[in-house]
Amino acid sequence: MRWTLLTLLSLTLLAGCDQPGPETDNGEAAAKEVNVYSARKEALIQPLLDRFTEKTGTEVNLITGGADALIERMESEGEHSPADLLLTVDAGRLYRARQADLLQKADSETLRNAVPEQYRHPEGYWHGLSVRSRVLVVAPDRVPANAPSRYADLADERWQDRICIRSSNNIYNQSLVASLIAHKGEEATEQWARGLVENMARSPQGGDRDQILAVANDLCDIAVVNTYYLAMMHNSDDQTQREAAEQVALRWPNQNDRGAHVNISGAGVARHAPHPEQARALLEFLVNDESQQWYAEVNNEYPVKEDVAISETLREWGDYKADDLPLVRLGENNDKAVRLMDRAGWQ
Ligand code: FE
C-alpha cells in the first residue's frame, strides 16, 4: 500500500513532462524519455539536461530533493520506481544507494575512459561527474604561512578555540573522517577528532559558507570547507560574500604527503530503471568534454575527466595534489566515521 501511494505520487509528479503514449515491450516508446532523481539543485543541472534532449530527442524528467529522501523514495517505490538515474553530491550517498541495492552496473568503455578509476565504483555501479576538495581556509593575518599544512595539524593544541567546522551529521565531514580512517586507522583518527573538538571556536553550526564568513569576521582563524563554496563566494552577487572570500586564504592540505581529500558529485543507473539504455546514454553524455566543462565551470568544481578546462577562479588557485584514495572507501568507512565522531563529542 505504501509504495503504491508513493508510486502514484511519483507518476503524478512526472506526468507534467511525460508523454503517456503506449509503452511497448520492446521499449520503443520508452526510448523517448529518462527520469532523473537529483540531489543537485535544478539550476546546476537543468541546462545540461536540456542540451541532452536537444541532441538526442530524449526528454528528461527531473525530480530534485535531498539525497537521503530520494534514496528512501526509491526504496519505497521498489521495482515500480520510475527513477532511471540517481544523481548525488557525495560518494558516500552513492555508496548507500548501492548498499540498498538501488543501483545497477553501467559499465562502458566511454565511462571507463572518461572517469578515472578512483572516482567510480569498481564494478560500475556509480561514476563521478565532478570533483571537489575539502580544504583549509585561514585568516592570513592571524595564521602563519607554513601552518597548519595538514588535516592532522587541526588537532594541535596550538589552534585551541580557533577552528570553525560544520556538524558531524554533514556528509562532507563524514567522508573526510572516513578518508582519515582509511589512511591512519580508527584509533589515531579518534584521537585526532578529540583534538579537533577541543580546538573548535564554537559548537558546529551552519554550512560551509558560514564557516568562511566566521573566519572573515574574526570568530575563528581556520575553517574546513569544500572548494566550490569559496569559489562561489568569490563570484557572488552579494558583496558581503565576495568581501569575506577576499579576506581569507585557501590552504591545500597534505601537499607534501598524500594530497588533499577529494570527493565527487556523481550518478548511478537505478536498479529498476524503466529506461536503462537512456540512463546510460545520459551518463555518457555527462562525461563528454563539453558537458564536463560546463558542469565544472557552473558549479566551480573540477572536471573528473582530465584535460578539460576549469573555471578562472580555480585556475587562480593553481594545481594541487589530490589524495588518490578510491572513493568507494569513503562509503565503506562511513558507519565507523559517524560513530567515531560521536564518541569524540563532535556535535
Ligand atoms: Fe555542497
Q: Which helix (H) or strand (E) holds 214?
A: helix 208-216
For CA atoms 218, 219, 224, 225, give the dihedral sign.
Answer: negative
Judge whether 256 and 149 are in contact, CB under 8 Å.
yes
Judge whether 242 and 99 are in contact, CB under 8 Å.
no
Ligand 1 mean position to 164 CA, how many Å?
17
- For the cut 80, the answer to whether the pLDDT of residue 6 exceeds it is no
Q: How far apart are CA 278 and CA 32, in angstroms?
A: 8
**Does 332 share its domain with 207?**
yes
Look up residue 91 and give its DSSP letter: H
Ligand 1 mean position to 320 CA, how many Å?
20
Ligand 1 mean position to 89 CA, how many Å?
7
Judge whether 305 and 266 are in contact, CB under 8 Å.
no
**Does 39 share its domain with 76?**
yes
| Domain-located, residue 9 | no
**Does 48 share its domain with 149?**
no
Ligand 1 mean position to 210 CA, how many Å?
12
Ligand 1 mean position to 92 CA, how many Å?
13
| Domain-located, residue 7 | no
Ligand 1 mean position to 167 CA, how many Å?
14
Q: What are phi and psi of 128, to 5 degrees?
A: -75, 150
Ligand 1 mean position to 200 CA, how many Å?
21
Ligand 1 mean position to 4 CA, how many Å?
32
**Does 210 share its domain with 276?**
no
Ligand 1 mean position to 103 CA, how many Å?
23
**Does 297 share its domain with 230?**
no
**pLDDT classification of 146: cutoffs 50, 70, 90:** confident
Ligand 1 mean position to 8 CA, how many Å?
31
| Domain-located, residue 2 | no
**pLDDT classification of 31: cutoffs 50, 70, 90:** low
Ligand 1 mean position to 30 CA, how many Å?
33
Ligand 1 mean position to 184 CA, how many Å?
26
| Domain-located, residue 92 | yes
Ligand 1 mean position to 23 CA, how many Å?
38
**Does 330 share its domain with 254?**
yes
Lowest mean pLDDT among 23-37, 62-76, 104-118, 237-251: 23-37
Task: Tell me the average pLDDT across 66-75.
Answer: 97
Long-range pairs, 311-315, Cβ under 8 A, ≥24 = 311/231, 313/231, 313/234, 313/235, 314/227, 314/231
**Does 174 share its domain with 224?**
yes
240-261 residue pLDDT tens? 999 999 999 999 999 999 999 9
Ligand 1 mean position to 229 CA, how many Å?
7
Ligand 1 mean position to 19 CA, how many Å?
33
**pLDDT classification of 9: cutoffs 50, 70, 90:** very low
Work out how many domains the chain is built from and give that number. 2
Ligand 1 mean position to 70 CA, how many Å?
16
User: Is the bond leading into 253 cis (omega within 30 degrees of zero)?
Assistant: no
Ligand 1 mean position to 334 CA, how many Å?
18
**pLDDT classification of 2: cutoffs 50, 70, 90:** very low
**Does 82 share its domain with 94?**
yes
Q: Extract the C-alpha cell encoding 326.
A: 578510491
**Does 159 share its domain with 64?**
no
Ligand 1 mean position to 88 CA, how many Å?
10
Ligand 1 mean position to 204 CA, how many Å?
16
Best CA proximity match to 289, nearest among 274, 267, 309:
309
Ligand 1 mean position to 113 CA, how many Å?
27
Judge whether 138 and 251 are in contact, CB under 8 Å.
yes
Structural domain span for residue 61: 33-131+263-309
- Which residues lie across from 87 on neighbouring strands? 38, 267
Q: Which helix (H) or strand (E) holds 94?
A: helix 91-99
287-337 residue pLDDT tens? 999 999 999 999 999 999 999 999 999 999 999 999 999 999 999 999 999
CATH code assigned at 235: 3.40.190.10
| Domain-located, residue 20 | no
Residue 188, classed as helix, strand or coil, is helix
Ligand 1 mean position to 307 CA, how many Å?
24
| Domain-located, residue 25 | no
**Does 189 share its domain with 222?**
yes
**Does 194 share its domain with 148?**
yes
Ligand 1 mean position to 186 CA, how many Å?
26
**pLDDT classification of 202: cutoffs 50, 70, 90:** very high
Q: Extract the C-alpha cell encoding 213.
A: 564568513
Q: Extract the C-alpha cell encoding 344.
A: 569524540
Q: Extract the C-alpha cell encoding 26.
A: 520492446
Task: Tell me the average pLDDT across 167-193.
Answer: 97
Ligand 1 mean position to 345 CA, how many Å?
24
Task: Tell me the average pLDDT across 282-290.
Answer: 97
**Does 328 share its domain with 204?**
yes
